[in-house]
Amino acid sequence: MNLGLPAIGLGGVAVTALVAWFGALAIGQEVLQAGWAIPLTVALQALLLFLSAIAWRIAAGGAAPRLGRWFRIRWIRESVNSLLPVAQIGGNLVAIRLLVQRGLSGQVAGAAITVDLTLEVLTQFLFTLAGVIVLACISTDRSWAPWLEGGLVMMGLGLAAFITAQRAGLLRLVEWLGGRLQRVFPSMPVQGLKGLHEELLRLEANRGALLRAGGLHLFAWVLGTFETWLALTAMGQRPGLAEAFVIESLGMAARSAGFAVPGGLGVQEGGFILVCGLFGLGPHTAIALSMLKRARELLIGVPGLLAWQWSEGRRLFARSRPPAA
- Please provide the average confidence, as pLDDT, over all residues in the chain: 83
**DSSP tag of 190:** -
Determine contact, residues 279/239, Cβ cutoff 8 Å: yes
Half-sphere exposure of 294 (CA within 13 A, CB side): 20
In this structure, is residue 314 part of a structural domain? Answer: no
CA distance 170 to 167: 7
Alpha helices in 84-205 (DSSP H): 90-101, 106-138, 145-168, 170-184, 196-204
In this structure, is residue 120 part of a structural domain? Answer: yes
In this structure, is residue 239 part of a structural domain? Answer: yes
In this structure, is residue 226 part of a structural domain? Answer: yes
The length of the chain is 325
Determine contact, residues 158/151, Cβ cutoff 8 Å: no
Determine contact, residues 245/131, Cβ cutoff 8 Å: yes
In this structure, is residue 324 part of a structural domain? Answer: no
Q: How far from 290 is each of 167, 196, 298, CA to CA, in Å?
A: 37, 38, 12
**Which helix (H) or strand (E) segment is 314 a member of?**
helix 283-320
Is the peptide bond prior to 65 cis by the omega test (within 30 degrees of 0)?
yes
Task: Supply the range of the domain harboring residue 87.
Answer: 43-308
Please tell me the total count of domains within the chain: 1
User: What are the pLDDT tens digits along the chain (325 aa)?
Assistant: 445 545 555 555 555 565 555 556 667 788 888 889 999 999 999 999 999 999 999 999 876 778 999 999 999 999 999 888 776 788 888 998 899 888 888 888 888 999 999 999 999 999 999 999 999 999 877 788 888 888 899 999 999 998 888 877 777 776 655 555 445 444 444 455 677 888 888 999 999 999 999 999 999 999 999 999 999 999 999 889 999 999 999 999 988 887 777 777 778 888 898 899 899 898 889 989 998 999 999 999 999 999 999 988 887 776 666 655 4
Q: What is the dihedral of CA 161, 167, 172, 177, to 10 degrees?
A: 0
In this structure, is residue 275 part of a structural domain? Answer: yes
* pLDDT one-digit tens code per residue, 98-112: 998 888 888 888 889
In this structure, is residue 96 part of a structural domain? Answer: yes
In this structure, is residue 119 part of a structural domain? Answer: yes
Q: How far from 100 is each of 48, 57, 65, 193, CA to CA, in Å?
A: 24, 14, 10, 12
* pLDDT one-digit tens code per residue, 66-96: 899 999 999 999 999 988 877 678 888 899 8
